[in-house]
């Protein structure tokens, strides 16, 4: 029986993790649930799963959660410090890090330093501070188990192959809802259009990142640290059907691919049960129903966010952290109607050009870059 802590239990990944746990009550139990602002949902989940403890990150909502769970044997905590401390609980066997954005960095690092295996769905942790996080994981001998479908696919392809040299990691991308569109056509994109992903059901931030292809750029940065390869060993290919989730090519030219219908519960379950595969009732892929699997190169000129991510990785230092913070502000501005979809890359590029490159050496250095970038991008946004 694995005791699971879910950071970000009310989000898309958190909820799907709970569905996996529901399907295997003999293997997994919920030890900790956390949420940022959704106090009512957190209370409902706590009543159902009876965890040891819950954390609401927004301290102003503490009394609401405490009162809602007054009749339950559940400890209630609040605030970012509590979120960081809770992951070190001795009873936790695995931490699922599914918080959105930079907020996932500190709790994930705390879990690693406490020796807890981490099922990582918060890609920003490795995007912003990949060198620091991967170094800490190695020092503490803590496995980082990828939950993103693409990184899970690569992780699965590498099982039994860790002694063999990688020639290429090949990340697949669906191309998002605007694949094939021109830059001119993107000027008229609505928020509703951008949130309508053809293959995956995700939270709004990740869905917009997928539409701009920034998501794929963030995944390249994440893969660089997760699998300890140089950027030149990572390729991207657009595969609209989302059946092949990613591939690995070895030095003999052989390619291994992980395939399946697009369903995030599969990589979540693999991360929870690793190194064992357990049965599931997920829909099965049928080759006869998908006779055509197609592939094409990404359009970097139209979808400039991907190109900006590759540039940030190439420049190194604090530039991926700058990219991530600028993107967080830009996506939030688009979702709130402040800017158009086509203006997202310009806002990010301007910020990338303006924040000086540095070589971070500590968590505080990354946090300083993040805050500096947020402030700069928000001020820049006023001119739009």
Average pLDDT over residues 186-200: 85
The residue whose two tokens read 């660089």 is 224
Instruction: Quote the pLDDT of residue 201.
Output: 67
Is the Cβ–Cβ distance between 116 and 92 less than 8 Å? yes
Instruction: Quote the pLDDT of residue 106.
Output: 95
CA dist., res. 374 & res. 379, Å (int): 9
| Confidence grade of residue 200 (pLDDT, cut at 50, 70, 90) | low
Average pLDDT over residues 349-363: 95
| Confidence grade of residue 274 (pLDDT, cut at 50, 70, 90) | very high
For residue 198, pLDDT over 80 is answered with no
Instruction: Quote the pLDDT of residue 108.
Output: 96
For residue 251, pLDDT over 80 is answered with yes
Average pLDDT over residues 291-302: 96
Average pLDDT over residues 285-292: 92
329 secondary structure, DSSP code: H
Report strand pairing: 234-238 vs 75-78. Answer: unpaired
For residue 203, pLDDT over 80 is answered with no
Contacts of residue 135, defined as CB under 8 A and 6 or more positions apart, other chains included, come to none
Instruction: Quote the pLDDT of residue 22.
Output: 98
For residue 197, pLDDT over 80 is answered with no
Starting at the edge strand that comes first in sequence, how are the strands of the sheet with 94-97 ordered?
75-78, 53-56, 28-35, 2-7, 94-97, 118-120, 144-146
Is the Cβ–Cβ distance between 179 and 213 less than 8 Å? no
Q: What percent of the chain has pLDDT over 90?
A: 91
The residue whose two tokens read 């979702």 is 335
Instruction: Dig out the tokens for 321 from the structure.
Output: 């952290």
Q: State in Å, rounded, how far the first CA of the chain is from the last one.
A: 53
CA dist., res. 29 & res. 39, Å (int): 21
For 91-157, give the DSSP string.
T-SEEEE---GGGGHHHHHHHHHTT--EEE--THHHHHHHHHHHHHHHHTT--EEE-SHHHHHHHHH
| Confidence grade of residue 35 (pLDDT, cut at 50, 70, 90) | very high
Average pLDDT over residues 222-227: 97
Instruction: Dig out the tokens for 283 from the structure.
Output: 């829909």
Domains in the chain, ordered, with CATH?
2-146 (3.40.50.720)
Instruction: Quote the pLDDT of residue 101.
Output: 81
197 or 159: which carries more pLDDT confidence?
A: 159
Instruction: Dig out the tokens for 304 from the structure.
Output: 């400039």
CA dist., res. 285 & res. 177, Å (int): 22
Handedness of CA 136, 142, 146, 152 (dihedral sign): positive
Instruction: Dig out the tokens for 141 from the structure.
Output: 């001998």
Average pLDDT of the chain to the nearest whole number: 95
231-243 pLDDT, tens digit each: 999 999 999 999 9
The residue whose two tokens read 């746990």 is 21
Instruction: Quote the pLDDT of residue 180.
Output: 93
Instruction: Quote the pLDDT of residue 124.
Output: 87
44-67 pLDDT, tens digit each: 999 999 999 999 999 999 999 999
For residue 261, pLDDT over 90 is answered with yes
298-354 pLDDT, tens digit each: 999 999 999 999 999 999 999 999 999 999 999 999 999 999 999 999 999 999 999
């Amino acid at each position: 029986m694995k005791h699971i802590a879910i950071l970000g239990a009310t989000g898309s990944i958190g909820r799907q993790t709970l569905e996996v746990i529901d399907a295997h009550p003999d293997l997994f139990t919920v030890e900790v649930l956390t949420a940022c602002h959704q106090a009512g949902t957190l209370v409902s989940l706590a009543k159902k799963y009876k965890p040891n403890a819950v954390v609401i990150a927004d301290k102003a909502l503490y009394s609401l959660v405490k009162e809602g769970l007054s009749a339950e044997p559940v400890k209630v905590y609040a605030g970012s410090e509590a979120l960081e401390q809770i992951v070190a609980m001795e009873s936790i066997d695995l931490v699922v890090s599914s918080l959105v954005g930079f907020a996932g960095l500190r709790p994930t690092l705390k879990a690693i330093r406490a020796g807890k295996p981490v099922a990582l769905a918060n890609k920003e942790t490795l995007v912003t501070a990949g060198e620091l996080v991967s170094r800490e994981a190695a020092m503490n001998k803590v496995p980082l188990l990828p939950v993103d479908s693409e990184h899970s696919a690569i992780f699965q392809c590498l099982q039994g192959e860790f002694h063999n040299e990688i020639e290429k990691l090949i990340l697949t991308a669906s191309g998002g809802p605007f694949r094939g569109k021109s830059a001119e056509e993107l000027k008229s994109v609505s928020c509703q259009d951008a949130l309508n992903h053809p293959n995956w059901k995700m939270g709004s931030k990740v869905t917009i990142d997928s539409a701009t292809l920034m998501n794929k750029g963030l995944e390249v940065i994440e893969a660089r640290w997760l699998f300890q390869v140089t950027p030149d060993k990572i390729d991207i290919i657009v595969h609209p059907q989302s059946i092949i989730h990613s591939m690995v090519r070895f030095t003999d030219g052989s390619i291994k691919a992980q395939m399946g219908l697009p369903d995030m519960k599969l990589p979540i379950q693999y991360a929870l049960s690793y190194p064992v595969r357990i049965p599931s009732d997920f829909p099965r892929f049928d080759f006869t129903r998908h006779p055509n699997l197609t592939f094409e190169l990404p359009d970097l000129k139209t979808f400039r966010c991907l190109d900006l991510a590759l540039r940030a990785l190439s420049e190194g230092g604090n530039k991926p952290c700058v990219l991530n913070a600028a993107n967080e502000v830009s996506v939030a501005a688009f979702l709130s109607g402040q800017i158009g979809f086509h203006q997202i890359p310009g806002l990010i590029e301007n910020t990338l050009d303006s924040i000086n490159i540095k070589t971070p050496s500590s968590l505080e250095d990354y946090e300083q870059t993040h805050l500096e970038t947020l402030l700069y991008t928000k001020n820049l946004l006023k001119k739009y």
